[in-house]
Chain A
Amino acid sequence: MRKSKLVRAMTGLLLALTVLAGCSSGGGGNAETGGSSAGEGGSEKVTIKYWRHDNDVEVDTLKQLIASFQKEHPNITVKMEIIPYADYETKIRTALAGKGAPDVMGIDGPNVAAYAYQDAVIPLDDYFAKDGDLDDIAKPVRDSLTYNDQIWAAPLNDASVAMFYNKKMFESKGVELPSKDPNEAWTWEQVLDAARKINDPGKGVYAIDPAWGVGAGEGSAFVKMPFIWQAGGEILSPDGGTADGYLNSPESKRAIEFFNSLYTEKLAAKELPPEAFETGKLGINVSGPWSIGGYAASHPNFKLGEDWDIAPLWKDAKQVTPNGSWNLAITKQSKHPDEAWLFLNWVTGKEGAKVWYEKTKNLPARLSVADAYPELKEYPMNIFVEQSSSFAHPRPVSPAYPTISKAITDLFEEVVLGGKNIDDSLGKAVETIDKAIEKTK
């Protein structure tokens, strides 16, 4: 029997629709609105919705802080919703688009400017001036959250990374150990020299993983950007208006060349197995305070001080370390910003920050917390604390940051894995970034 052309066309259309539907299945927002005012007469009952990503220790700490907060403010209920890390940004962005955003949201430092530019969060200057102890927050952290001269989020903690090295490997090859003094960081040349001595790919041992592999993602960008800053380069102009003349400066180019040389010399592996450092397959790694507890839990026989040690992150023309972590912000959609601030300040204020440090052991963003604990002035935490107050460089504060971050990891990937010409790749990255900045002007 003959099928009409129309039927065939319709079938084709439907098949193609299937494809499109497959692409767009992430849509649809959460229609619930945050907060409800139920009480008439007496103190108003308020519900604050708070979204964050998953992390067992941090979530437990927050539950404790929420309980104490609700005891202090019986009229306010905080409803925390945990979203898997991988889905977090997508979910929060769809919720913001669908007018179903929570009152308080967890926000990664470098994304603050993008959310602020899009009017998704509100500035906190007035709140901080009232009772937020803004001066107590380390300046590099404050800078990383400041866009258009206003501050848009309150930090839960800071983050920094240092050079983790396999002490036994160094000793067995007769390599001098790096200093533990945060002011005596090794230079790139010293690191390169040690790496050449401990490298042994034949035995499945690689010398160094300079920046968490050569992949995509914010973590990857977080540890790669410092190479550019260490060489004396920058990613954007001081006003954030362009990458041209900065990302493609001779200094930045030198950083990429050095990074790439670690791979061309086969001191670094393009692929590493999971847990390479803890299992003795990797000599030098970068990591943060979270790994101290992490290694102790997962590999109790791999002991700090015996098998491995921590030295300050390497330097070149400058000593520069990355900074910034997760923060809390109040969304513009919130109907109860004042109550939301009470909660924000309870968690991130001087007292809350102490609880946060005691429980999570994350690097504090508040100077008063760093002062309150003697262990933060001793090895190994002193390295991170000192770096975060003296050598930290915020990632570019720009509404185009999501594109910038991807352009940077793409740049490293193209050069190291794709074997592309460095000048061409730098040129492409600058073009991509400038195009994105242009759209936000």
Chain B
Amino acid sequence: MLPPARIPEGGNVMNGVNAKKPSSRLSYLRSEERYAYAFIFPALASLLVFVFYPMLQALIVSFKDFNLISPDSEFVGLSNYIELLKDRDFLDSLLHSFHFAVVVIPVQTAIALGLALLIKRKTWYAPLFRTVYFLPVVIAIGVASTVFRLLYNNDFGLLNTILNAVGLPKIAFLSDPQAAIYGVMLLGIWKSVGFFMIIFLAGLNNISPDIYEAAQMDGASPWDSFWRITLPLLNRTTAFVVIITTIDAIKISGPIFILTGGGPAGSTTTATFFIVEKAFEEMQMGYSTAAAFILFVIVLAISLVQMKFFKTDVEH
């Protein structure tokens, strides 16, 4: 990629046949530039108005004792932040979010890659499975969560009926605080794995078959090919998948609202759920905004570390 052309004030940088009429060339580029700004403007304006301005306002609110419906509020300095770092419920909610992320990121990414490798094979049934695996992605999360609520029911749900029939112990995903977060993970993975499978499939299709053929000639086993060719060449795809999964995982909220309501006994209250509850149920806007900023800083830090980790100097 070339850096944008820079024209020194009044200078002539064109030293070729095109440099006959420098002033018109210059004004052409200037008008190009104007158009560029015009094109950027709508996106930039909406970012400024709908993202950065509210963020700035939110930052201010996070230093206030701000009740959602009250017109009066006073600055309390860092006390929201200090209180949050001592709030057991908030720390627990962060822990739940990370527990969720730490399990979902590797498991979901591995399954997505595995499925992509399976359906990449050119068989007559591959398109069928591609559709089946992708189907959960297009189902509304509200509907999926409601259905999983029924499936998970301890005594009457399909899941436990099947477990019971094959002689396995029941899992009370909805009422056992130890199990509940795994129930949410299962729903989350089932819901999103198809999407990342498609992303991986695209990545796999970008790897030239010649490389595999060459490796085969040199006597590489499929196992070697996977570790030495597929994975390294998928680096950028994997980076994308992992970073997006991380963000999705940390801001998980849809299934929590419908499937578990943060329960049982607070065991699935993730950070985002905590923030929404505090803000709109308990109306403590300042407090919850401060919590949102703490989460923001954590996510920012994680994203930066991940990008450093996946950084590669090789362009494919």
Contact = CB atoms under 8 A, between A and B. Distances in A.
Interface of A: 1-2, 8-9, 11-13, 15-24, 26-27, 89-90, 93-94, 96-97, 114-115, 118-120, 201, 204, 214-217, 269-273, 281, 402-403, 406, 410, 413-414, 417-418, 420, 436, 439
A403 B282 contact: yes
B295 A24 contact: no
Interface stretch (B16-24, B216-224, B265-273): B265-273
Contact of B69 (A15, A97, A439): A97
Given A27-B54, A406-B277, A439-B65, A1 B1 contact: yes
B9 interface: no
B266 A19 contact: no
Interface of B: 1, 51, 54-55, 58, 65, 67-72, 150, 153-156, 172, 174-177, 243, 247, 250-251, 253, 261-267, 272, 275-277, 280-283, 285, 292-293, 295-296, 299-300, 303-304, 307-308, 311, 313, 315
A20 B67 CA distance: 20
A23 B247 CA distance: 12
Nearest to A413: B265
Contacts of A119: 70-72
Nearest to A92: B69
B177 A15 contact: no
B281 A406 contact: yes
A271 B154 contact: yes
A216 B263 contact: yes
Given A16-B299, A269-B155, A93 B283 contact: yes
Contacts of A115: 69
B69 A93 contact: yes
Contacts of B243: 15
Given A2-B313, A273-B153, A273-B155, 10 more contacts: A12-B300, A12-B304, A19-B295, A94-B68, A115-B69, A201-B155, A403-B282, A406-B277, A406-B282, A418-B264
13 contacts: A15-B243, A17-B55, A19-B247, A20-B293, A24-B58, A89-B281, A115-B69, A204-B155, A270-B172, A270-B175, A271-B172, A402-B282, A403-B282
Contact of B296 (A19, A272, A420): A19
Top 3 closest A-B pairs, CB basis? A418-B265, A270-B175, A16-B300
A417 B247 contact: no
A417 B283 contact: no
A417 B264 contact: yes
Nearest to A439: B65
Nearest to B272: A23
Given A16-B299, A204-B155, A270-B175, A420 B265 contact: yes
B9 to A, nearest CB: 25
A414 B154 CA distance: 19
Contacts of B54: 24, 27
Contacts of B69: 93, 96-97, 115, 118, 120
Contacts of A23: 251, 272, 275-276, 292, 295
Contacts of B261: 215-217
B175 A417 contact: yes
B264 A413 contact: yes
Contact of A21 (B51, B150, B313): B51
A94 B276 CA distance: 13
Contacts of A413: 263-266
B305 to A, nearest CB: 9
Contacts of B1: 1
A89 B65 CA distance: 20
A10 B301 CA distance: 12
Nearest to B57: A27
A278 to B, nearest CB: 14
A214 B175 contact: yes
Contacts of A20: 55, 58, 292-293, 295-296, 299
A20 B300 CA distance: 10
Contact of A97 (B68, B172, B175): B68
A156 B277 CA distance: 28
B267 A418 contact: yes
B250 A271 contact: no
B303 A12 contact: yes
B182 to A, nearest CB: 15
B282 A436 contact: yes
A328 B241 CA distance: 50
B165 to A, nearest CB: 15
B300 A13 contact: yes
Contacts of B262: 216
A119 B69 CA distance: 8
Nearest to B287: A439
Contact of B263 (A16, A89, A215, A436): A215
A185 B5 CA distance: 87
Contact of B304 (A9, A410, A418): A9
A90 B296 CA distance: 23
A87 B265 CA distance: 23
Contacts of B72: 119
B281 A270 contact: no
Nearest to B285: A97
Given A93-B283, A270-B172, A417 B272 contact: no
A271 B177 contact: no
Nearest to A415: B265
A118 B70 contact: yes
Contacts of B71: 119
A271 B300 contact: no
Contact of B51 (A17, A97, A273): A17
A209 B72 CA distance: 43
A93 B267 contact: no
Contacts of B247: 15-16, 18-19
A16 B154 contact: no
Contact of B68 (A21, A93, A270, A410): A93
A304 B253 CA distance: 41
B292 A15 contact: no
Nearest to B281: A402
A280 B29 CA distance: 79
A200 to B, nearest CB: 12
A270 B115 CA distance: 37
B187 to A, nearest CB: 16
B280 A93 contact: yes
